[in-house]
Amino acid sequence: MPAEAPVTQAVFPFRLSMGETIRSWVGGPAILLRCLDGGPYSGAMNLGLLALSAAALFSPQDLLIHGGTIRPGVTASQDGRLLALDPVPALLVKDGKIVASGDLEQLRALGQAAAELDLDGAVLIPGLQDAHGHLLGLGEMLEQVDLVGVQSYSELIRLVTAAAENLPAGAWVLGRGWDQTRWEGAEFPHHAALSEAVPGNPVLLDRIDGHAVLVNHAALELAGLVGEDSGEPDPSGGRILRDEAGRPTGVLIDRAMGRVTRWLPPARKEDVRRRILAGVHRALAVGLCCVHDMGTDRLTLEVLSQLRDEGQLPLRVAAYLPGNSLLRVNELYGLAALADSRFQVAGVKLMVDGALGSRGAWLLADYSDEPGHRGLQRFEDLELVRLVRLCAEAGLQPATHAIGDAAVRQVLDAYGVVAGELPSLHRLRPRLEHAQVVAPADWHRLAALGVIPSMQPTHATSDLRWAEDRLGAARVRGAYAWRRLHSEAAPLAFGSDFPVERPNPLEGIYAAITRQDAEGKPEGGWLPGQRLSAAEAVGAFTSGAAFALGEETIRGSLLVGYVLDGTVLDLDPFTLDSKSAGQLLGAKVLLTLVDGEIVFDGR
């Protein structure tokens, strides 16, 4: 039967293997709406048929979108490459879902009562997601001393001193974002100058990667790290940097940070709520429709649940609980059932090493710029296996932070052991967070185990100045290898790791396409063989991120049967290449839509 034949009943989207056909016979006027390939990674064609003959089915709460470029998303070619789907003229949305795609006048006749959104020449793409962020951390950063981009230790001290002057004696001074690799000499600071400038307030300043802190004498004193106790050994999985006399320098790495952070005043629920909302609204303003929130603690979980119940959560949030200690099974069971369309407990975040910038990433061989040091191992092998097993038994996805090649190998080994015991682990789609350094022998194992690489393009462009110093010329060629992972593994899921990096996904797309920093350096891109196409980069922030949540058949594309989550921009990212992608750095987010509703308006 011809494709234009009328249909009288609705047939909701379903999987159709290649080569199959659909035949329907009807007896009344209606419209047949055909959805293009909606399974970007399935190798199958996803056809959606909806027949709706009564305009009365629609209301002003429904939406007809037209008047610009509507990009449905990406699809996989036969050789595995991601390609952009052709634009469509219009979308018809009912109850937050796309029910029709095609000719504007046909859709207008079908949805006469629907409100219209004229894009006025703008570009609608599938709603952008951040597959690895920290909402509370983003909100906290907005209230702390901003040290991002500080060019010297003296500049840091000046900013912290100014903040302390507005606080009562004894109150904590908190800041975030310093990066000693930007300073002359690129050495970690000593607290002496900071302690002299701010003697009356404890100071705690997070490094840009969140895996090290700088504290002053007052904070060290609270932690018992001065005087007779200053020679205390490093905790397992942590490091207390010391000067030549053996005294703490004030820099604490990974698990050593807890020696000071335990003395911070406990967070109040109203403070967490305010900071979460600030993070949510910042995310919406940069075009994000969904955030995979990594390390969501119990109080934050409670606040997010409450905001959802009150109808005050305009952003989709997939929470990953912290799992850095041996969890009891009864703490996990039942959490997966808390999900709804706006908020869900998706999994557990495990952390097996630190960060490369603070030399906490766990490597198979010594750091090139610190012989004898290989980073920090946070878990013994059997302990990690047990944690992954607990996640699988509870139906929660393990999302494991692994930056160094030794950490990546340990995680893959643990996933392999548990998958052999519990095949259900494959259905949970275990994740590898960051995967910045992967040994060549382990490339193929990600695909074999069905592991999703969850990566952050701006990490590479932030780290390119010093990554070779840490890793050496040979090892760095296997670092931040998006192209290789895209070819070898499951779909890439991209994010920013905000507030470690800025939350703007357009900056991440730019970095993925160019492998250059915001100044366009280095010319031609850093290790340019690992660049991605625009379709691949956008896909990793949309359908790839949705795949990581097991939602690729309902979100991540603008296809019939999918939820209308969309980001409206003043340019079309799918048309860009490595030479023109710089336009993304000045692009404007005009609208963010979740469930077909405008949740941010930047017009």
pLDDT, tens digit, 9 for 90 and up, residues 60-80: 679 999 999 999 999 988 877
Predicted pLDDT at 32: 28
CA–CA distances in Å: residue 293 to residues 316, 446, 457: 10, 23, 17
The pTM of the full predicted model, rounded to 2 decimals, is 0.87
Gap between the Cα atoms of 224 and 230, Å rounded: 7
> For 267-317, how does the pLDDT look when each residue is reduced to its tens digit (9 = 90+)?
999 999 999 999 999 999 999 999 999 999 889 998 999 999 999 999 999
Gap between the Cα atoms of 348 and 401, Å rounded: 11
- The 10 Å CB-count burial string (b at 16+, else e) for 197-220 is bbeebbbbbbbbbbbbbbbbbbbb
Cis peptide before 499 (omega within 30 of 0): yes
Please say if the pLDDT value at position 377 is more than 80: yes
- Helix (H), strand (E) at residue 219: helix 217-222
Please say if the pLDDT value at position 589 is more than 50: yes
State the average pLDDT for the chain.
87
- Mapped onto helix, strand or coil, the DSSP state of residue 348 is strand
Predicted pLDDT at 360: 95
Predicted pLDDT at 14: 24
Please say if the pLDDT value at position 337 is more than 70: no
Please say if the pLDDT value at position 345 is more than 60: yes
Q: Please indicate whether residue 339 or residue 179 has the higher confidence score (pLDDT).
A: 179
- Mapped onto helix, strand or coil, the DSSP state of residue 556 is coil
Adjacent-strand bridge partners of 479: 437
- Helix (H), strand (E) at residue 377: none
Predicted pLDDT at 463: 94
Please say if the pLDDT value at position 4 is more than 80: no
Please say if the pLDDT value at position 404 is more than 70: yes
Of 108, 114, 205, 197, give the one whose Cα is nearest residue 158.
197
> For 565-579, how does the pLDDT look when each residue is reduced to its tens digit (9 = 90+)?
999 999 999 999 999
Please say if the pLDDT value at position 50 is more than 90: no
pLDDT-derived band at 206, boundaries 50, 70, 90: very high
pLDDT-derived band at 341, boundaries 50, 70, 90: confident
> For 426-470, how does the pLDDT look when each residue is reduced to its tens digit (9 = 90+)?
999 999 999 999 999 999 999 999 999 999 999 999 999 999 999
Predicted pLDDT at 251: 97
Strands 238-242 vs 248-254: parallel, antiparallel or unpaired: antiparallel
> What residue ranges define each of the domains in the chain, with the CATH number in brackets?
1-121+563-603 (no CATH), 142-261 (3.10.310.70), 268-562 (3.20.20.140)
Instruction: Average the pLDDT over each of 311-325, 348-362, 366-380, 418-432 and give the range with the smallest value.
Output: 311-325
pLDDT-derived band at 24, boundaries 50, 70, 90: very low
Gap between the Cα atoms of 153 and 182, Å rounded: 10
Q: What is the mean pLDDT of residues 512-529?
A: 96
CA 158 to chain centre: 33
Query: What one-letter code names the amino acid at 180?
Result: Q
Whose structure tokens read 């896909």? 539
Q: Please indicate whether residue 455 or residue 48 has the higher confidence score (pLDDT).
A: 455
